[in-house]
Chains A and B, each alone.
Chain A
Amino acid sequence: MIQFDFSTIAFFVFAVLTLGGALGVVTNRNLFRGTIWLMVSLFGVAGLYVLLSAPFLAAVQVLVYIGAIAILFTFAVMLTRSLTRLNVRYTRLWPSALGAVLLFAMLVIGVIWPVFGGNELYNQPISDVVRTTTDLGVALVSGEGYVLPFEVASILLTGAMIGAIVIARDADEEEMEQ
């Protein structure tokens, strides 16, 4: 069923990057290394997007997730610098593990089984249409498309920006202005 051609090999390489990075985030002792592991995982996901014919999203993933979000995490780690060595890694070890196992069992039964269990939906051939930036761009601003969530998202970003500034600024800075 599986042919070991280029795309399959690429899939497994990126899958290992994604899951390895995720494991690194969940298990590491050093907060700074945690952010590096996160970048590895995010990079793996970006590679998978390329395999899934979504080059634009792959680019956004690299720019926004790795270039902005992971860097912000790095800043936060540096601002809270006493925490790069974590003595206590875990909290509530057994209840959490149990919860995760239950979640996993539910998802396996509910999702993997139907997907592999000969669901007719997934026996259709997969389209090889590459969604270009143009497709997404038109859809985002078309009145029949996604202009409403697009505008709401811009309001949301404005709100988040105001909020982050309000929370992070110190009292003395305001006094200096006055």
Chain B
Amino acid sequence: MFESPTLQTLTDYNIWIALPAIALAFGTMFLLVIDVFLPANRKHWTPILALVGIGISFLINLFTYNPEQTSTFGGMFVADAFTGFLNIVVLITAFISVLLSTDYLRRTETNHGEYYILLLLSATGAMFMVGANDLIVIFIGLELLSIPLYILSAFRVTYTDDRDATFVLKSEESGMKYFILGAFSSAFLVYGSALLFGATGTTNLREIFAAVGPILESSAENSGALLLLIGAALSLVGLGFKIAAVPFHMWTPDVYEGAPTPITAYMSVAAKVGGFAALFRLMIVGLSGLTLDAGVDPAAWQGTIQVIAAVTLILGNFVALSQTNIKRMLAYSSIAHAGYILMAVAAVGSAGLVPDIANTAAQAGLVYLLAYAFTNLGAFAVVLALENNDGTGTELSDFNGLYNSRPMLALAMALFMFSLTGIPLTAGFMGKWLVFSAAVQAGLIPLTIIGVLTSVISAFYYVRVIVNMFLLTEDEGSPAVGETAPVRYAVYASMAGVLIVGIAVPLVTNLVNMVSLV
């Protein structure tokens, strides 16, 4: 295959389809050099340039948004509507996170240019991951997504003299826990990939799909299928850590609480987008044909994912009920939301039985991710506005009487809480509606019932925040030191996103209907 290479130029390889990700990577490297030469009194240009880089990548992504699936680099990277749509989600997330970061870094005295470089590198990793069509690219994209996040979680320790302060210790611990469990989970992902490679002889997802059929036919006792199943299971463990599905969720609350709030906002969305993109691709493109009895049984991994989804929904929502810290509550809520998106992944398992379910479920998952991105970023933006420099001010009681002191923030938070619950006319409702209907189409009735019931339960803790803000009063209002112009823009942008996705439904469905992975 590689014995006699003929000299070709890069343009022969169609690399322009990976241009959004390449542009962001290039911009990041450019920013790295620029940041060094910026004089100390011009450092505020770094976030602005980062925003420009994200914007350029966003524009390139819009112009190259092409529903036709094209691949490059020997089929390792594909660009289709799935890639384009998730690129949009990742870039919006990065944009809002940078907006949230500028003043936060300044007031917490961690304003170093490396922060933005690492944030953009992580976004680049997520973008390579959503277009990955090969186990190697999935792995390396995942690592590029994760390794900067380990550092960013611990970012409050950078250049500090104040090593005994609680917020420094918490941030350090957050980075450490994320790192240890992240490395542990990557080992599972690599071993799972090794088994898939061992069973099929290839790391390309399309070739794995082609190899699965003959393996199922040739081995009398389905022993090859078992190898594939265990490989899929170990990969699922690895990705399960990243998306924070139960029982691989234990790092989530501590990491979310200890990390700097803009990073919590960013990783609660970006890590999930990357993880779910890989999961959808692996399960639809690679392993959707892995059934023990084709045409009669659903995919063999469907049962496992259903159980994981159900446990994630129940545990995430119930534990969130008892939380008193808003960051921990949103951490458990993000675990619960992983469960809803896993319902869409489980629905994909019926691909061999119900026509077109794989695409319907993938589309539902994508809309859910977009809705979740806007809502969660907005909620964390409000949390950040109320947080003090030493990390306090994130208790639920700190929201008491917010409507009296900061009506705009209270209204915004109420909207985000409604969206997380899934009240109609918000983005969250759209996401839940599509995911539930995909699950029903796939015949997963018990799982859908669990999903609906846990949504009702989730209303309790989301509405409690609203009650605190509007009905309770406090002697002195929150100082809201973080409510500066960029944070306000971030809140407005998230509100606009939540309302647009929730009300202007055709806009999103037109984009997402082009998604076809099969």
Contacts and interface: CB of A to CB of B under 8 A. Distances in A.
Interface in B241-269: none
Nearest to B120: A159
Interface stretch (B138-146, B318-326, B409-417): B138-146
Interface stretch (A29-37, A60-68, A75-83, A134-142): A134-142
Contacts of B227: 110-111, 114-115, 119
A138 B5 contact: yes
Interface string A132-174: 0001001100111111110111011011101110110111101
Contacts of B195: 111
Interface string B120-154: 01001100100000101100110110011011001
Contacts of B134: 149
A107 B148 CA distance: 32
A120 interface: yes
A171 B161 contact: yes
Mostly, the A contact residues are helix
A163 B5 CA distance: 37
A107 B147 contact: no
A166 B151 contact: yes
Interface residues of A, number: 43
A119 B198 CA distance: 12
B136 A162 contact: no
Contacts of A143: 8, 10, 12-13, 15, 73-74
A113 B223 CA distance: 8
A106 interface: yes
A97 interface: no
Contacts of B10: 143
A36 to B, nearest CB: 22
Contacts of A171: 159-161
Nearest to B121: A159
B342 interface: no
A152 B128 contact: yes
A121 interface: yes
B230 interface: yes
B43 interface: no
A167 B150 CA distance: 10
Interface stretch (B213-221, B327-335, B419-427): B213-221
B63 interface: no
Contacts of A151: 25
Interface stretch (B110-118, B347-355, B457-465): B110-118
A120 B158 contact: no
A129 to B, nearest CB: 11
B248 to A, nearest CB: 12
B55 to A, nearest CB: 20
A178 interface: yes
Given A111-B230, A143-B10, A172-B161, 9 more contacts: A119-B219, A121-B215, A121-B224, A143-B73, A145-B2, A148-B137, A155-B144, A156-B144, A166-B151
Interface of A: 106-107, 109-111, 113-115, 117-121, 135, 138-139, 142-149, 151-153, 155-156, 158-160, 162-164, 166-167, 169-172, 174, 178
29 contacts: A106-B233, A110-B227, A110-B229, A111-B195, A111-B230, A114-B224, A119-B219, A120-B218, A120-B219, A121-B215, A135-B2, A142-B2, A143-B15, A143-B74, A145-B73, A145-B74, A148-B18, A148-B73, A148-B77, A152-B25, A152-B141, A153-B140, A155-B124, A158-B32, A166-B155, A170-B159, A171-B160, A172-B161, A178-B40
Interface of B: 2, 5, 8, 10, 12-13, 15, 18, 25, 28-29, 32, 40, 72-74, 76-77, 112, 114, 117-118, 121, 124-125, 128, 134, 136-137, 140-141, 143-144, 147-148, 150-151, 154-155, 157-161, 175, 195, 199, 215, 218-219, 221, 223-224, 226-227, 229-230, 233
